[in-house]
Amino acid sequence: MNVINCYQPEFTQHPAIDPSQILDCHYQHETRRSLLLNEFAHCVAVILDPQAFTLHIDTRAPDVAAHVVSPRLQCLNQAAIDCVTLPELDEELRLYALGVMLSTASNIDDETEACEKIARMPGCLANHAINGELQRMYAELPSIDLLKNRLIRELGVMSFDWNRLPDNPRSQTLPMQISLLMLQDASSEAQMQQQLAQVWRERGAASLAGQPWVLTHYLVYRLYHDMFPGDNAAHSYLQLTCDFFQLKTLFSLWMIDGTELTPEDMAALIGLFEHWRISDAQMQERDCMHELFAGNDLLAAFSLIAR
């Protein structure tokens, strides 16, 4: 009988997880077990546990309704995961490496050599990081804040379920503060973006010191759960960087009044954001505004991770 691998990350076996909430993502070559990040317990299991992505491998028969994934997409997905886990780099540099990989892969026309070339790219990028070339290229990204400012303002119209936040004073004041973002003029938008960037520089790293894997786990989850990049790599990359930027913005907004950002707060904010992201409201309330870059999704995405 034909059998395929079934991958079960450690987070699916977390004691706080209701087994009925585990999702099976069926593909013709493998099954991936996963969770939605719209519940606090799920975020704790996926985001806060350092061993969350330790894989347990079993075998099973293929599902008759499995999604068919091309060999090229399979290779791109693994290469993407390798890029966002490159050692000794922060998440922005890893996202930059991911963008470079996707851009380079899009220029490979020969399908007979595509997978082999794609599989080699993360190693090449790792070598570029070791010799400082990747960091030099990243430092040369132009600083264009238009999309950053629009995405910060966009937070003000998102219909978040604020009841998902922990019961503390900051949870009472944050909704009003975020709703006011949509009322800012261009000058105020620019000032807010600079202030939030400063908050992250001064306090973001300290907040993550005990769990430095939090944002990396979020990125790995998205690539694993969604079989990233799907059929439109550039657009998927832009969506991912938009989500990453807005999530970090929520973290900074939480801290902007001096409030400490605890690991539990991070998990709650990720659950808040993910509950909105997979909702129907997302279709009406999200507008990445990448027409600012004449439809160049890669350039728009790079503008969100440039410093």
**pTM of full prediction above 0.75:** yes
Instruction: Answer yes or no: are the C-beta atoms of 87 and 212 closer than 8 Å.
Output: no
Q: Determine the pLDDT at residue 106.
A: 96
Dump pLDDT digits (tens) for 26-71: 999 999 999 999 999 999 999 999 999 999 999 999 999 999 999 9
Q: Which residues contact 36 (CB under 8 A, 6 or more apart)?
A: 21, 23, 42, 274, 278
What is the DSSP pairing of strand 4-9 with strand 23-26? unpaired
Buried b (16+ CB within 10 A) or exposed e, 252-277: bbbbbeebebeeebbbbbbbbbbbbb
Which residues lie below 8 Å from residue 72, measured CB to CB, with a gap of 6+?
111, 114, 115, 118
165: left (phi over 0), alpha (psi -120 to 50) or beta: beta
- Torsion angle, alpha carbons of 119, 224, 295, 143, to 10: -80
Complete DSSP assignment for 177-188: HHHGGGG--HHH
Q: Are 36 and 80 in contact (CB under 8 A)?
A: no
Rg (CA), the chain: 20
Q: What is the mean pLDDT of each run of 10 residues along the chain (307 residues)?
A: 93 97 97 98 98 98 95 97 97 98 94 94 98 98 92 94 95 96 92 96 93 97 98 95 97 97 97 96 70 81 95
Strand-pairing partners, residue 27, are: 67
Report the phi/psi class of residue 289: left, alpha or beta, with left for phi > 0 and alpha for psi in -120 to 50: left
221-256 tens-digit pLDDT: 999 999 999 999 999 999 999 999 999 999 999 999
Single out the residue of 45, 21, 126, 54 nearest to residue 83, CA to CA.
126
